Amino acid sequence: MNTTLTEAVPATAPTVPATAPAVPAGTAKAVPTRVAMFDLDGTLVDSPRAIVEAFAAAFEAMGLAPRDPADVRATIGLPLEQAFGKLLGVEQDDPSVADGVARYQEAFRTVILPRARSLVFPGVPEGLAELRRRGVVVTVATSKFHASADALLTAAGLRDHITTLVGADDVTCPKPHPESGLLILGRLGARPEHAVMVGDTTHDLKMASAAGLASVAVTYGVHERAELEAVSPTHVADTFAQVVEEILALLPADGEPGGGGPADGGPADTRTVEGLLDDSTYHIEFNGHLTNHIKHAVVALSGLGVEPGRIKAYHDNYIALTPYGCRVEPARAPQRVIDDDNWLELLGQRQDFAAYYAFFDRREQELGMAGLLRRYVPHLLAGWAGALQHATIHLGWGLDAGNRRMTIEGIAYLAFAYVDCHPERALPSDGSGTDLPGDSLLGIARHWEENQPRLGAWVEDLVDGRSTGIHPELLRSGLQYRIARMLGEGHPLMYETPSWIAAQDPDASWDQLAHLVTVLYLTEPGDFLLLHLVTALHAMRHISDALPVEERRRAVGCYWTGILGVLFSRGHFVTPSKLTAIDNLFDTALDDLDDPRWAREWEWHIARAVEEEEEHNAKLVYVMRELWRRSGGRSVYRVAAGQFTTTPELPATFEKPPAD
């Protein structure tokens, strides 16, 4: 039975004893997110010479004489508008600046991109791979536009190493302002003291200093050593190999010199977790449609800092006997060959997961991971709610972990279990009061309250019916069938697209949606379906970040339509008064991130999660802590982290054999 609202959400912060109970030895230890930020031009890619050529081509196309190469090089590291303003001697809002930027971008496509791989500095691919292997999150903060930087990294073969990319158009104030670095830290829930910025210009180093980051200046780029040393970087490096050494010295892992942790917290531990994520022994599902969740749990427990030996024990216990009392099943061999000509024919048919994996594995080797995601995931976004959102979770959490196999498994699972939420039915909402996700959901909750008997009866009539378009295995699930039936039929309110989806940056939408689904979870603490919306949002955000800019709002829209389908499928809706009360309770509630009371409370949550056989609880704690950090300590996430769920009992339909 779920706890009451008063039990679940205290009106004031809980009192923490002066001496907190000790976390069981060897259970969990908080491990900070370590972040390496890189400039792009002149740091990862030797593009200054090509940039000078692109500027020359732009000026020629404008009918102007090329500028002195030294003057052009002096602008590298500035946003294009500032660079053209300086070189043209005009204000940035002058029409000639926009003309120059457009012509430069055309030259960029024709001059720089075709040569990108040859422009990568020696040791960069190997160095980035080593940082990732050692558990450092690799990011890029550049003065290029996001799309241009994305294209250059992809063409150079480096995009797969990059978890987060921030361009000049992603911020209000580009480098040397600290906004770029702070945005990356916010996205990753990381602290300045656990991050380092690497760059070849004083703009990079000044940004690092202003954001409270350590810095490594590279001497092989645009600015000379004396100019770089004048702004006091933490270290100076002459090669990329030295850069990697300095980063690892500045950001030691537990157990490495300076790390202050146990002796078994270094690279061998990383390999233990990677080995579990790389495992190909087991099928993606068991007992029909039940998802094999264990890799999700490994990512969550690793992200929470649980010791690898304990993660391995948790993994082995799940494999031996899942919380449902069933063993996981061995991997199955492909039964056919899937290729680009027929991959859509089996979409959502729950046939031959292994063949789908083999197909996407081949395509990744041809396209690279970034190319694979951009080629196939946009088509699969509409099916994100399939398999009770676990396919989406598998993909997004694979991206979170930076694990190739898990990511490809997630794409294959999305295709295998695809259930369309029909975003093509969406129409712009003409209603008022839809400036935020909470406003939109509150309006729908009011509609449900006013029409509950009729709407509830309509849902039950709908799910009692049968559809030839839904795989018969989902009938055994109950929950998955209800969702598939609702997504197939739909309701007009599910397709009214609120104004905030198109009007604001997707990052803002994801932040607001995270708060909203957490509040929703607190209206019915422990609810299995609502918990999935939380962990799936974490996944969708990672998926969205890996897509081209133009696809990111579409990802938000698909998520919105899908969660409404899930909520409608239940046949009841949260009351407006309860939604408003919980939202108001936490609207301005903020924890001090440095308060030791909250550190102890998170240790308790983690310790509980490790002892729970229901792996969704480890995922809940992981996502809530990430959101708590990212939001600067919003109390709603800390409170929600303690509202554990229980494994639901399998319905009577499981007495029938699987239909796959």
Active-site pick, 39, 150, 420, 591: 39
Question: For residue 540, with 0-12 CB atoms within 10 Å meaning exposed, 13-18 middle and 19 or more buried, which class applies?
Answer: buried
φ/ψ of residue 347, rounded to 5? -55, 120
**CB of 614 within 8 A of CB of 647?**
yes
How far is it, in rounded angstroms, from Cα 176 to Cα 202?
A: 8
**Tokens found for residue 468:** 């030839």
Taking the CA atoms of residue 296, residue 302, residue 305 and residue 311 in that order, the dihedral angle to the nearest 10 degrees is 90
Taking the CA atoms of residue 431, residue 433, residue 439 and residue 442 in that order, the dihedral angle to the nearest 10 degrees is -60
The pairing of strands 235-237 and 285-286 is unpaired
How far is it, in rounded angstroms, from Cα 293 to Cα 300?
A: 11
Cα within 13 Å of Cα(225), Cβ side: 7
How far is it, in rounded angstroms, from Cα 461 to Cα 647?
A: 27
Q: What is the largest CA-CA distance in the chain?
A: 80
Q: CA nearest 233: which of 266, 260, 200, 257?
A: 200
How far is it, in rounded angstroms, from Cα 623 to Cα 539?
A: 10
**Residue 655 per-residue DSSP state:** G
Looking at the DSSP bridge assignments, the partners of residue 28 are: 306
Number of C-beta neighbours around residue 155 at 10 A: 19
Contacts with 176 (C-beta within 8 Å, 6 or more apart), sequence order? 202, 203, 204, 206, 207, 210
Contacts with 259 (C-beta within 8 Å, 6 or more apart), sequence order? 252, 253, 265, 266
Element (H, E) at 352: none
Q: ω before 176 within 30° of 0 (cis)? A: yes
Contacts with 648 (C-beta within 8 Å, 6 or more apart), sequence order? 528
Question: For residue 577, with 0-12 CB atoms within 10 Å meaning exposed, 13-18 middle and 19 or more buried, which class applies?
Answer: exposed
39 belongs to the catalytic site: yes
Active-site pick, 41, 160, 400, 591: 41
Amino acid (one-letter) located at 62: M
41 belongs to the catalytic site: yes
**Residue 649 per-residue DSSP state:** P
How far is it, in rounded angstroms, from Cα 554 to Cα 7?
A: 38
How far is it, in rounded angstroms, from Cα 30 to Cα 649?
A: 33
Residues labelled as active-site residues: 39, 41
